[in-house]
Chains A and B, each alone.
Chain A
């Protein structure tokens, strides 16, 4: 992959430019991270609050490199069978039944157990070949002929055992399957792991990764993101929206609105043909920004003053 895409990532500024062309606005930090990850082939552990674009970063990188995105969503109880491979047991059983007669034919003319056994051994281990293997995301990622972006989403939701299992994949890009041997990646994938920090990850895993923390964007960055994601929005409304949301983030809320909520809200306002923020409209649509009843109630008191300030900032 590195050879194929050397051109794409020759400097940090270029990464940033490419991302922007794909409507992913990032700061220098994110660009540096992708640049290093790509060139040194290190996995990236992306942390940050929900909705700041952790998953989006991996998706955009895949688009940028023009390789498939292989996604592995983690959850409690995820294990090798779901992540790497599984034998198609039903198929195996079915085939043993179907081939029963053939076995008789095969063994015709042999004398004694030893000879029969030798005859069976002469055939390869048919039932444990790739034909009976159900590939799961990790296996697929290692097999992609042109490389891929592997997104291991919400790694903190998985168990510790699974985390330990990932170590081999992340450091050497290979896995061991007892029946088939060690499988090495054809082209090393670019790996993104995301975490919401619901569980402390192990040091061994962290040590192997670049650490990237994506915070909530500041006003300037958020405004740029909005202009790329919702280009139909007028400059004035955009400034108002951003100022309002930035103020909202200062409040003590259960779930602070992220950039994804800001985008949704902007789209909603566009749909409602709003030219300007007004307290009534904001109160009506506040449930798009805030997801808890208590948060909406807490923010409700401030709506008027926030809107005033937003309009002031927008020059109204």
Chain B
């Protein structure tokens, strides 16, 4: 039974629930405690130990239903009975179902010794299912990863169940001229096909259970490394999920409370010092206090035509940043600066992005105009605690770059970071004015995959919270 439980944990892991070894040990202990008698209680005991959230719980329960489902060989047999009575296997099966009371004389009977053939002809589904489970275990079916392995595993299971012997038997029966033997061979052949279908279905179901993670993680890994501009809109949802995961991870790392006052330990040194005036009578108590300022981040995101392919993802990223950092001011610009804090706060991500793109997107960018707006609206608010993050390609359409304003920003702000979706070799070509801005950035980097984003965000947060 331990093996079955192990396989179940495997299936749960494949469904995307992280099951640590400690969890599985605890779950096994719980199972030993409650026993196997009641399905419901067993399910609850397992899900309670393995799941860590309500969503996990639903997944585990679904897995449980799928995993402990013993209806192989059942449905399809019934189906084929319904489809046509002339199917010999179906007849045999139907007869067996009726308890073998009215054995049809016309139905061929098998009198050989081969166990598989006997099971098939008797329509003994339980035995077949058990044999299949056993063969699957021997073949290591739980290791199945990709759909290309389907036929391999099907063949392996069939071989282990004794397919070759069955084929030999059919051939042997088919030779000669005895009509009953030939009829039996025909029935066995149909039964063999049916068996094949069943095993294939079974393997497919198992692939569904065990193969999910492999495909999913492969896809996610691929997405992480793909240029943002090359990712389809179709993958936007997956991407969103990925970015959110990333943001959550980072937020767990960095969003700690950074302010604490007047609680905790007595600061003895300060108390003594403070009470010197009272002749050493400890009159006033001083407490260990800790103030750490929350970082302030100002993000400026280009949504013009030239970065159109990226901007959706940059905005997605910006939205996630909004969750991570409490004090973040988000602006988008093409020619002039526009605050999008409200939109981010009041709409879900996809809608917010659509809205921003519709209201502010496209058109040619004017970095000089944007910087002028920045000077007018925000410069006063930028101080030594502020990090300014600019997302854009610095393609200025041959307008005035106004790098002098960026210089002022550079002088006032803690850090100025420029993330450019173009590779560095493209900077300064054509109308790109990166060369004017670059001296006034603490960090200017190419950023066009999720991996880049994550690494940069990590840097940014580390610097922001290290103060």
Residues of A within 8 A of B (CB): 12, 28-29, 32-33, 35-36, 39-40, 42, 47, 76-77, 79-82, 87, 89, 93, 96-97, 159-161, 200, 202-203, 206-207, 210-213
Contacts and interface: CB of A to CB of B under 8 A. Distances in A.
A203 B19 CA distance: 11
Given A32-B34, A47-B53, A77 B257 contact: yes
A160 B257 CA distance: 8
Nearest to B32: A40
Given A79-B264, A81-B264, A211-B51, A32 B45 contact: yes
16 contacts: A36-B45, A40-B30, A77-B257, A77-B260, A79-B260, A79-B263, A80-B264, A81-B265, A82-B263, A87-B266, A93-B282, A160-B256, A203-B18, A206-B52, A211-B48, A213-B54
A302 B51 CA distance: 38
A223 B197 CA distance: 48
A15 B149 CA distance: 47
A39 B52 contact: no
Given A32-B34, A79-B264, A159-B257, A211 B41 contact: no
A28 B45 CA distance: 10
Given A28-B44, A36-B34, A207-B52, 17 more contacts: A12-B41, A28-B40, A29-B48, A32-B44, A36-B45, A40-B26, A40-B33, A47-B54, A76-B257, A80-B264, A89-B285, A93-B282, A96-B282, A97-B281, A211-B52, A212-B48, A213-B53
A200 B248 CA distance: 9
Interface string B40-58: 1100110111011110110
A28 B281 CA distance: 62
B165 to A, nearest CB: 46
B29 interface: yes
Closest 7 CB pairs of A and B: A206-B52, A32-B44, A213-B54, A210-B48, A29-B44, A93-B282, A36-B30
Nearest to B281: A97
Contacts of B257: 76-77, 159-161
A173 B30 CA distance: 20
Nearest to B285: A89
Contacts, number: 82
Nearest to A211: B51
Interface in B51-77: 51-54, 56-57
Contacts of B178: none
Given A32-B34, A36-B34, A210 B49 contact: yes
B33 A203 contact: no
A79 B281 CA distance: 29
A159 B256 contact: yes
Contacts of A200: 248, 252
A76 B30 CA distance: 34
Contact of B53 (A39, A42, A207, A211): A211
A203 B52 contact: yes
A36 B264 contact: no
Contacts of B30: 36, 40
Nearest to A94: B282
Contacts of B18: 203
Nearest to A161: B256
Most chain A CB inside 10 Å of its own CB: which residue of B38, B49, B263: B49
Interface in B252-284: 252, 256-257, 260, 263-266, 281-282
A82 B265 CA distance: 11
B20 interface: yes
Nearest to B55: A213
A42 B25 CA distance: 13
B81 interface: no
B334 to A, nearest CB: 36
Contact of B20 (A12, A40, A207): A207
A156 B111 CA distance: 69
Given A32-B48, A161-B256, A207 B23 contact: yes
Contacts of B29: 40
B34 A35 contact: yes
Contacts of B44: 28-29, 32-33
Contacts of A87: 266
A69 B43 CA distance: 30
Most chain B CB inside 10 Å of its own CB: which residue of A33, A36, A77: A36
Nearest to A203: B52
A189 B266 CA distance: 31
A18 B33 CA distance: 19
A12 B252 CA distance: 37
Nearest to B20: A207
A36 B281 CA distance: 56
B106 interface: no
A160 B255 CA distance: 9
Most chain A CB inside 10 Å of its own CB: which residue of B41, B248, B265, B285: B41
B98 interface: no
Interface string B171-207: 0000000000000000000000000000000000000
